[in-house]
Amino acid sequence: MKQVLILGQGGREHALARCFKKSPTISHVFVAPGNPGMKDVAQCVDLDIMDFNALISWIKSQCIDLVFVGPEAPLSAGVVDALEAHDIHVFGPRAASARIESSKSFAKSIMKKYHIPTAHYVDIKSLEEGLEALLKYPAPIVIKADGLMAGKGVVVAMSDEEAKDALHKMFSHSDVNHIVMEEYLEGEEFSLMAFVFEDVVIPCDVAKDYKRAYDNDQGPNTGGMGAYSPVPSIPQWAIDEAIEKIMKPMAKAMVSEGIAFKGILYGGMMLTKEGVKTIEFNVRFGDPETEVLCSRLITPLDQVIEKVLNKEHFELEFDSQFALGVVLASKGYPESYTKHHPIQGLDIIKCEVCHMGTGYNQGFITQGGRVLFVMDKAETLEEARLNVYNEIKNIQCEQLFYRTDIGLLKEKMYD
Ligand code: AMP
Ligand code: GLY
């Protein structure tokens, strides 16, 4: 029996904790720092996950068998390198390969070198350069800050005015001195995540995320406002294409570049009229895609990791049911919002709830931008959707909002 420690504190980590807890070979799940809503399955440990020395001494003292890293920040700061230097068994990429998420420009340069399908782009180092490039490549155009921005550093500009505004705003931000301007891709988005070790790529089923804050894909980009899996509108040929032309070549490219990957490789994909193209790579499980995938994953998570690290080729087993979930976020998110508002009704909810950002003060309170993820599994997407929206009505908190169109299918675009 093994003890696992998950680093992170959101809905993704709550779902991962549940998933590990289900495994017959896991005896105990710790999450650092976790959140009060996870106590149903895990023991929260009050550790700063960016303080690697503190992490190492705690892990050693508790005889932890496996560490799983949830969020991007400790990965790009080198938590895996630090833990491995102390012979700790950790699943996640080292800092050098985590750069494909933290630097959009680095990821684009690898895609270009290895002919991995993606949008055409230019690197921009100043406001003047950006404004000049806009004359050559007018809107629609996509502007991406080069750095970790929690999914909020991307502006899809449909007019030149919007693009100029985004350039001004990004270059006035103290953390931004480099951006990528790229071709606007039209099509249907999906998320493909895979367990990767060097050139071994074991893909999960696909999931769909909703990036914009409001209904009908309006409003600013967020970390994700809802998700479901599987995704019937994405045909199998497109999934195969994404695996064969994007995920496997990227894993191989990283081996060739001397930055072999170990961990979860997340491909943000767009199914366009010219085939599947990469929107971005992340180096960790997506949130909230993980919540819906974990509720469908049948193969025990720790066993998946062991097999991947042994370079075995195998297929993951997923429940054939549809999982769908909706994020309840603090009003104002992804910009500023207030915290510590009481949440009522959680005790009578019949669906699964992942805590994304709750605190506790005589009852659950809001603590983050994204607060709760309410989800259900059913034979059809429609049934899962109806169940979730029915249950959400029981949650009372004036400071929360949610999208009402998660899982509402639009017309199928491609066969
Ligand atoms: P990213 O952080 O790169 O995934 O971008 C956030 C969101 O912006 C994506 O999920 C897409 O919805 C949108 N986006 C990013 N790049 C493009 C692109 N080249 N064309 C169209 N939409 C994009
Ligand atoms: N939901 C998208 C992400 O985790 O980046």
What pLDDT is attached to residue 189? 96
What pLDDT is attached to residue 221? 87
Question: Average pLDDT of 29-34?
Answer: 98
What pLDDT is attached to residue 234? 97
- This prediction has a pTM of 0.95
Per-residue pLDDT of 103-127, as tens digits, reads 989 999 999 999 999 999 999 999 9
**132 pLDDT exceeds 80?**
yes
The residue contributing the CA closest to ligand 2 atom 2 is 286
What pLDDT is attached to residue 412? 47
What pLDDT is attached to residue 345? 97
Q: Which ligand is nearest to the CA of 193?
A: 2
What is the C-alpha radius of gyration for the chain, rounded to an integer number of angstroms? 21
How buried is residue 335: exposed, middle or buried, by Cβ count under 10 Å (0-12/13-18/19+)?
Answer: exposed
Q: Specify whether the CB–CB gap between 246 and 253 falls below 8 A.
A: no
Query: Is the beta carbon of 279 within 6 A of some atom in ligand 1?
Result: yes
Write out residues with Cβ below 6 Å of ligand 2.
Answer: 151, 209, 223-224, 282, 286-287, 289
**414 pLDDT exceeds 90?**
no
The residue contributing the CA closest to ligand 2 atom 3 is 286
The residue contributing the CA closest to ligand 2 atom 5 is 286
Q: Which ligand is nearest to the CA of 356?
A: 2
- What proportion of the chain, given as a percentage, has pLDDT over 70? 97
Q: Please tell me whether residue 399 adopts helix, strand or coil conformation.
A: coil
What pLDDT is attached to residue 152? 57
The token pair at 253 is: 């490219």
Query: Is the beta carbon of 267 within 6 A of some atom in ligand 1?
Result: no
Per-residue pLDDT of 137-167, as tens digits, reads 999 999 998 876 655 578 999 999 999 999 9
How buried is residue 216: exposed, middle or buried, by Cβ count under 10 Å (0-12/13-18/19+)?
Answer: exposed
* Residue 411: band (very low, low, confident or very high) from pLDDT cuts 50, 70, 90: low
Per-residue pLDDT of 332-390, as tens digits, reads 999 999 999 999 999 999 999 999 999 999 999 999 999 999 999 999 999 999 999 99
The token pair at 394 is: 């029981």
Per-residue pLDDT of 282-339, as tens digits, reads 999 999 999 999 999 999 999 999 999 999 989 999 999 999 999 999 999 999 999 9
Instruction: Please state whether the peptide bond connecting residue 36 to the residue before it is cis, i.e. omega within 30 degrees of 0.
Output: no
What pLDDT is attached to residue 154? 87
- What proportion of the chain, given as a percentage, has pLDDT over 90? 91
**Which of 120, 137, 142 best tests ligand 1's pocket when mutated (most atoms within 8 Å of CB)?**
142
Per-residue pLDDT of 399-408, as tens digits, reads 999 999 999 9
The CA 67 to ligand 1 mean position distance, Å, reads 31
What pLDDT is attached to residue 153? 79
**Which sign, positive or negative, has the C-alpha torsion 170, 172, 175, 177?**
positive
Distance CA 137, CA 121 (A): 10
Mean pLDDT of the chain: 95
**415 pLDDT exceeds 60?**
no
The residue contributing the CA closest to ligand 1 atom 19 is 184
Q: How far is CA 169 from CA 127, 129, 144, 165, in A?
A: 10, 15, 12, 6
Question: Average pLDDT of 229-236?
Answer: 97
Question: Average pLDDT of 219-232?
Answer: 95
What pLDDT is attached to residue 409? 80
> Structural domains in the chain?
2-96 (3.40.50.20), 121-183 (3.30.1490.20), 188-309 (3.30.470.20), 322-401 (3.90.600.10)
Q: Could you identify the atom of ligand 1 that is nearest to the CA of residue 211?
A: 10
3-state secondary structure string, 288-357?
CHHHHHHHHECCCHHHHHHHHHCCCCCCCCECCCEEEEEEEEECCCCCCCCCCCECECHHHCCCEEEECC
Amino acid at site 198: E
